[in-house]
Amino acid sequence: MFTGRSKASFWATLLALAYGIYAFVYWTGVNTSTEGDTEVIAAGIATFLVLPHVLVTWLGILFGLIGFFGRKTGFQLTAAILYAVGGVLFFLYAIFLLPSIVLGFFGYSAQKEINLGTATNPS
């Protein structure tokens, strides 16, 4: 499975996917309480504020999957950048994307070396 592919890119995408599933489940579960109008409005505002973060993170996951399975360095770099942008869009949850950001850039570098054939110990 890892022949000609970066392991760091795989782990970056896998960790981002786990966080993306968590974020989707958590933020869609917020809107289930219907006790009062104020709570519904507050939950809608919170969901609206976090929506760009979740969408950019999922877009990064999509690019990460395409980059890993297609061995495309451009997609892997784009995924790492989108993870970083997602972290900036919702700074309170950026710590959960930090491993994906770091591994994404390492994975991009390793995949670039693998594609060029200059990797001595591909990761």
Q: Could you list the pLDDT tens digit for every one of the 123 residues in the chain?
A: 788 899 999 999 999 999 999 998 888 775 565 677 887 788 788 888 899 999 999 999 999 999 999 999 999 999 999 999 999 999 999 999 999 999 999 999 999 999 898 756 655
What's the confidence (pLDDT) of residue 43?
78
What CA–CA distances, in Å, run from 79 to 2, 32, 59, 108, 117? 19, 31, 8, 9, 22
Domain residue ranges of the chain, discontinuous segments joined by +: 7-116
What's the confidence (pLDDT) of residue 34?
62
Dihedral angle at the C-alpha atoms of 7, 9, 10, 11, nearest 10 degrees? 90
What's the confidence (pLDDT) of residue 36?
78
Please choose, from the candidates 57, 81, 58, 76, the residue with its C-alpha nearest in 3D space to the C-alpha of residue 66. 76
Chain-centroid distance, C-alpha 111: 18
Type of residue numbered 71: R
